[in-house]
């Protein structure tokens, strides 16, 4: 025997008379950092030269590890020694501990840290994507990228060739529309 569910009317939306209650919550920062920039920062601040963030997080390119940084360290017997070692520039694979030490020392704010482990695109690929979106080499984003890489002769040569192609395609589109 089949039982059919009866239609039950939806409950009305709750109404509230007076001021609505506030949900107690903490608002936190979400900071996205590229792994190369983090490695350079660790080399500058903690003198950890050639620190490999990917190796420390146990991941490969494309993984995006997250760390909650609140400026505290767990109460373990040897944690004070590990914190001192980090401050002296000794390496550890505990990137979360390194970030918390940086927070304790006032270098970075409290928040959720998302580490982007994707490889950088070549600047010419980024420029091609910008041209594909804006269709104008004089767009401020295109100009800023060219200014950033103006000393790279290969980039400038390839960018000029891309601009020529884009402007030629634009001209042909105008002529065919007429």
List, for residues 55-100, the tens digit of each pLDDT value.
Answer: 888 877 778 899 999 988 888 878 888 888 898 888 888 999 999 9
Token pair belonging to 164: 């020529």
pTM here? 0.58
List, for residues 131-165, the tens digit of each pLDDT value.
Answer: 888 888 888 988 999 998 889 888 899 999 988 88
pLDDT at 53 over 70: yes
Report pLDDT for 2: 65
Share of the chain above pLDDT 70, in %: 96
Q: How far is CA 142 from CA 57, 139, 149, in A?
A: 34, 5, 11
Cβ–Cβ under 8 Å, residues 123 and 39: no
């Amino acid at each position: 025997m089949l039982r059919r569910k009866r239609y039950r009317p939806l409950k009305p939306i709750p109404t509230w008379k007076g001021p609505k209650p506030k949900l107690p919550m903490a608002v936190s920062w979400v900071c996205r950092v590229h792994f190369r920039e983090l490695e350079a920062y660790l080399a500058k601040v903690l003198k950890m030269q050639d620190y490999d963030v990917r190796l420390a997080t146990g991941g490969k390119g494309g993984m995006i590890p997250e760390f909650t940084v609140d400026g505290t360290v767990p109460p373990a017997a040897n944690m004070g020694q590990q914190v001192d070692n980090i401050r002296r520039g000794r390496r550890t694979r505990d990137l979360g501990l390194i970030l918390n030490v940086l927070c304790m020392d006032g270098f970075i704010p409290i928040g959720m840290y998302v580490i982007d482990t994707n490889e950088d695109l070549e600047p010419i690929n980024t420029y091609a994507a910008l041209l594909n979106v804006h269709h104008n080499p004089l767009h401020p984003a295109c100009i800023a990228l060219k200014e950033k890489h103006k000393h790279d002769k290969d980039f400038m040569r390839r960018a000029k060739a891309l601009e020529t192609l884009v402007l030629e395609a634009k001209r042909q589109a105008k002529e065919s529309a007429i």
